[in-house]
Structure 1
Amino acid sequence: MEHTSAIRRARVGDLPRLAELMHEHIAYEKSAPRPSGLAEQLGPQLFAEGARLWVLLAETPDGLVAGYAACSAEFSFWDARDHLHMDCLYLAEESRGHGLGAALMDGVTGLARELGLDHVQWQTPVWNEGAIRFYDRLGATGHSKRRYALPVEPAASPSPSPSSS
């Protein structure tokens, strides 16, 4: 059965629910827990003047925020142009299989179009066969790469210069 849903941009009042969904998503992907305060840290990034981060929400007919897609504009060096990077797409488990994912993807492509971008890129874990089938059905093409992360230690504070007396 298809849900009639609204896809809309996140608002400040959505941050607590968005943080709940993010924590569900982190657990679903078996990722390391993130520190508390995600909502407070994301707010300024989402709602600042000139922000290049957007979150679209899937809202069920009864008003429940059931999922999100987080996107940012990025530059592709090899293509020499900007594209929309979808960092995350997540639906609460009980909301899957009702057309909400396709509606979110329509929202993402609409956002790209609105921003004048003609390309959307994203990643999904290789073990997430359901997501892979979903993206394949949309006509997306997969590219095999391995994702890396390298922690960077903060720069050391400069030593105080000796004072001349």
Structure 2
Amino acid sequence: MDHAPDSPSPSPVRFVRPEDMPRLVELIHEHVAYEKSTPRPADLADRLGPLLFAEDTRLRVLLAETPDGTVAGYAACSEEFAFWDAASYLHMDCLYLTEEARGHGLGAALMEAVADLARESGLDHVQWQTPDWNEGAIRFYDRLGATSRPKRRYAWPV
């Protein structure tokens, strides 16, 4: 995903690095607010960092940068197992771009990087979900050729 420095068209997408944590956490909080979800813990960077950068991590985060190098979005993925298919797939838990970064190809670049990550991991598909009210995201995913599956997602505190 990271291109060589002399590459004619460097990718706007790269893997997260430890020094990106403050900006990633800002984007997560923006994403949470955008989806009208409950606020997340203040120590999010301290909790996520060790998980993201552990040697045996399953969690992969890709960042999208604007031409000036500003981190403007992210996709967070991990490998999951589909019991009915007896096969693993890449689960994209989050995809977010700042409002000003939308419509400039960064979302498509992030999705292509996610697809590349799945292929490099030997996985043949990616799954994700989006709120049913997020019509812009639904149009974007439909244009990619993705298909939706009607389900509700539940969370059960135990």
| TM-score after normalising by structure 2 | 0.92
Q: Could you list the structure 1 runs, at least 4 aligned residues long, displaced by more than 6 angstroms after superposition.
A: none
- Alignment correspondent of 2:150: 144
CA distance in 1, matches of 2:57, 2:72: 24
Structure 1 regions of 5+ residues with no counterpart? 153-165
The residue number in structure 1 matching 2:112 is: 106
Choose the corresponding residue for 1:16, options 14, 19, 22: 22
Aligned residues: 149
**In structure 1, what residue type is equivalent to 2:140?**
F
Q: Secondary structure at the match of 1:14?
A: helix
CA distance in 2, matches of 1:59, 1:38: 22
Q: Which amino acid aligns with 2:57?
A: A
Determine the C-alpha separation between the residues in 1 that align with 2:132 and 2:18: 33
Q: Alignment identity in percent? A: 74
Secondary structure at 1:82 match in 2: strand
* Residues 34-73 of structure 1 mapped to structure 2, 5 A cutoff: 34-73=40-79
- 1:76-115 correspondence to structure 2 within 5 Å: 76-115=82-121
Question: What's the CA shift for 1:119?
Answer: 0.8
Unmatched tracts of structure 2, length 5 or more: 1-9
Instruction: Calculate the TM-score normalised by the size of structure 1.
Output: 0.89
